[in-house]
């Protein structure tokens, strides 16, 4: 792991990361330590009582994918407004091909919340569990110019900026 100095020790932080394997959330959260990270996870993972209990205990909450999940977005926004750290995978799922998919605009919406520091994170070598896994945090992505820009398309532009930054961090 590298770049931990880019994660503020307090205040609202959105860590946005690419997603290449099911184990990524755990590894990125461990790499962000000592900062505690909250995470969204697909609701299907909460069907198992044991797994759901463990995930909730570790700061994970469900999100319905492929639909605007108002509850999950509000939960994420509320965590950020309380000064918490939220780990998110804007692609919305694992991309084992190595090619990043477009990010969902919810990432941009959360990135534009007041005072949020957006820290990009790249993870690789987890696709085939052939480690050692690598996690690199980059410098915060500036968002102030977008926060002050006209509303139409602002969330999409913020998401695009996040995804372009991530694409530049992931080794070819």
- Cα–Cα distance measured from residue 76 to residue 82, given in angstroms and rounded to the nearest whole number: 10
Q: What is the pLDDT of residue 86?
A: 97
Sites in the chain below the pLDDT cut of 70: 96, 98, 128-131, 172
Residues contacting 23, CB < 8 A, separation 6+: 126, 129, 133
Q: What is the pLDDT of residue 131?
A: 66
Q: What is the pLDDT of residue 167?
A: 93
Q: What is the pLDDT of residue 127?
A: 74
- Cα–Cα distance measured from residue 46 to residue 50, given in angstroms and rounded to the nearest whole number: 9
Q: What is the pTM of this model?
A: 0.92
Residues contacting 4, CB < 8 A, separation 6+: 31, 32, 137
Q: What is the pLDDT of residue 9?
A: 96
Residue with tokens 């007041």: 114
């Amino acid at each position: 792991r590298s770049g931990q100095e880019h994660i503020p020790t307090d205040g609202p932080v959105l860590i946005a990361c690419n997603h290449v394997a099911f184990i990524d959330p755990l590894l990125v959260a461990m790499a962000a330590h000592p900062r505690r990270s909250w995470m969204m996870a697909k609701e299907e993972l909460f069907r198992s009582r044991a797994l759901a209990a463990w995930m909730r205990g570790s700061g994970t909450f469900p999100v319905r994918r492929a639909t605007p999940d108002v509850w999950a977005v509000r939960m994420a926004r509320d965590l950020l407004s309380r000064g918490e750290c939220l780990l998110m995978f804007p692609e919305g799922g694992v991309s084992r091909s190595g090619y990043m998919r477009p990010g969902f605009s919810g990432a941009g919406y959360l990135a534009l919340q007041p005072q949020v520091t957006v820290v990009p994170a790249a993870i690789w070598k987890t696709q085939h569990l052939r480690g050692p896994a690598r996690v690199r945090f980059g410098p915060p992505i500036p968002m102030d110019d977008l926060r002050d820009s006209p509303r139409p398309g602002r969330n999409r532009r913020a998401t695009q900026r996040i995804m372009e930054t991530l694409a530049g961090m992931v080794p070819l």
